């Protein structure tokens, strides 16, 4: 029994967060994942939504298992080009403007040209605006300053920038020597990195899985419908691998794997949850059982779309989610270990 090397996983996560992929514009990151899996001789296919499904045949081909993690992230779209040459944004996914204030960003035109910019309050300069501190961080006050000599809407349009262009945020990724990784979009690229490394381990060590197992790399989770399709009729267990939510009253931390008992959509399957806890105990894996108050996962999306499945949710603990996120290598490690044993375990029914 050899677990995947977590130091290597940290590098894969770094590579993933460095590829811009707001929901709706994920082709580049999906191609990266596809190439990673093709190199391992894993069979993959894309769905029409642009997500990727990797399948590894198991001993039992009558009952299937599906695991999912998502590569799409929060982002924005150009809503308006202001007469001043600044851009008004429309947000993609669930977050507030304050979490992107001052952030460097990238604007991708429909022709594929990329421009850099900064997301700022219109009233940022304290030398000019008295209410700079108190003004509300909202769609009207926040804007993008493009790093080009543009002072009118026409000049911006001449660059090729238009309404509907995707805007992605600088992840500011750093892997520190003491084991922390801080970056935007660890939700949920940390989990994608973990799944990729597990698949690599399964292939390299020629591990035979008990059941045919699908890995769905979802590309629409942040907008609610990433993991609700391409679930085979044989699929019994469906496990979402997504971030554990930290904050006041939460048990989840940056050092263990978080097992979700319930989120805003209701309880996860009781038997599967108990089995995941039992696996953690048996293999001496640091875990926390938790409830996420404002949260729904791709497993929720799958249940809501009518699939009769046993659904669960686990993941690494992520601090300050949907903003400047952080986790620690030990959380990545514990999540990897639990999944390693889960993949080789018997089903609950």
Between 187 and 253, name the residue whose CB sits nearer to Zn ion: 187
Cα–Cα distance for residue pair 44/10, rounded to 1 Å: 23
40: three-class secondary structure by DSSP: coil
Number of chain positions touching Zn ion (CB under 5 A): 3
Of the candidate spans 86-94, 133-141, 180-188, 288-296, the one that interacts with Zn ion by CB under 5 A turns out to be 180-188
With binding defined as CB under 5 A, does residue 242 bind Zn ion?
A: yes
> Which residues are CB-neighbours of 286 under 8 A, at least 6 positions away?
255, 256, 257, 280, 330, 334
Minimum CB distance to Zn ion, residue 316 (Å): 11
Between 10 and 313, name the residue whose CB sits nearer to Zn ion: 313
Per-residue interface string for the shown chain with Zn ion, residues 114-153, x marking contact by CB under 5 A: ----------------------------------------
Active-site pick, 108, 221, 222, 254: 221
Of the candidate spans 88-96, 116-124, 184-192, 226-234, the one that interacts with Zn ion by CB under 5 A turns out to be 184-192
The two structure tokens encoding residue 71: 């590569």
**Residue 301 contacts residue 225 (beta carbons within 8 Å):** yes
With binding defined as CB under 5 A, does residue 72 bind Zn ion?
A: no
With binding defined as CB under 5 A, does residue 188 bind Zn ion?
A: yes
Cα dihedral 341, 343, 348, 349 in deg (nearest 10)? -150
Minimum CB distance to Zn ion, residue 73 (Å): 9
Minimum CB distance to Zn ion, residue 249 (Å): 20
Minimum CB distance to Zn ion, residue 237 (Å): 20
With binding defined as CB under 5 A, does residue 103 bind Zn ion?
A: no
**Residue 198 contacts residue 336 (beta carbons within 8 Å):** yes
Tell me, yes or no, if 221 is annotated catalytic.
yes
Question: Hey, CA dihedral for 332, 281, 238, 345, is it positive or negative?
Answer: positive
**Residue 183 contacts residue 16 (beta carbons within 8 Å):** no
> Which residues are CB-neighbours of 70 under 8 A, at least 6 positions away?
188, 191, 192, 217, 218, 219, 220, 221, 222, 226, 227, 242, 298
Between 186 and 329, name the residue whose CB sits nearer to Zn ion: 186
With binding defined as CB under 5 A, does residue 187 bind Zn ion?
A: yes
Minimum CB distance to Zn ion, residue 290 (Å): 15
Residue nearest to Zn ion (CB): 188
With binding defined as CB under 5 A, does residue 325 bind Zn ion?
A: no
Minimum CB distance to Zn ion, residue 212 (Å): 25
Residues linked to residue 167 through DSSP beta bridges, in sequence order: 76, 107
What's the longest Cα–Cα distance across the chain?
69
The two structure tokens encoding residue 62: 């009558």
The two structure tokens encoding residue 91: 């947000």
Q: Which residues bind Zn ion (CB under 5 A)?
A: 187-188, 242
Give the residue numbers marked as catalytic.
221
């Amino acid at each position: 029994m050899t677990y995947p090397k977590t130091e290597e996983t940290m590098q894969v996560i770094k590579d993933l967060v460095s590829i811009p992929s707001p929901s709706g514009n994920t082709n580049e990151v999906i191609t990266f994942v596809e190439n990673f899996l093709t190199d391992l001789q894993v069979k993959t296919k894309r769905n029409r939504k642009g997500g990727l499904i990797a399948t590894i045949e198991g001993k039992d081909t009558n009952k299937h298992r599906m695991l999912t993690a998502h590569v799409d992230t929060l982002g924005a779209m150009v809503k308006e080009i202001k007469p001043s040459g600044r851009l008004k944004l429309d947000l993609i996914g669930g977050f507030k403007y304050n979490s992107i204030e001052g952030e460097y960003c990238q604007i991708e035109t429909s022709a594929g040209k990329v421009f850099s910019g900064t997301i700022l309050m219109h009233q940022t300069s304290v030398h000019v605006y008295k209410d700079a501190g108190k003004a509300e961080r909202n769609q009207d006050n926040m804007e993008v300053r493009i790093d080009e000599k543009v002072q009118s809407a026409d000049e911006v349009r001449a660059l090729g920038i238009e309404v509907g262009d995707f805007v992605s945020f600088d992840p500011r990724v750093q892997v520190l020597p003491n084991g922390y990784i801080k970056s935007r979009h660890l939700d949920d690229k940390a989990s994608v990195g973990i799944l990729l490394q597990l698949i690599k381990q399964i292939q390299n060590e020629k591990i035979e899985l008990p059941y045919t197992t699908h890995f769905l790399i979802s590309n629409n989770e942040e907008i609610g419908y990433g993991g609700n399709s391409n679930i085979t009729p044989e699929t019994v267990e469906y496990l979402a691998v997504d971030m554990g939510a930290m904050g006041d009253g939460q048990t989840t931390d940056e050092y263990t794997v978080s097992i979700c008992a319930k989120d805003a959509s209701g309880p996860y399957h009781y038997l599967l949850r108990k089995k995941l806890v039992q696996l953690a105990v048996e293999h001496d894996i640091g875990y926390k059982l938790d409830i996420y108050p404002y949260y729904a996962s791709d497993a929720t999306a799958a249940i809501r779309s009518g699939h009769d499945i046993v659904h669960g949710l686990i993941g690494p603990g992520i601090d300050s989610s949907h903003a400047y996120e952080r986790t620690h290598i030990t959380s990545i490690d514990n999540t990897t270990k639990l999944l390693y044993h889960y993949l080789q375990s018997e089903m609950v029914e």
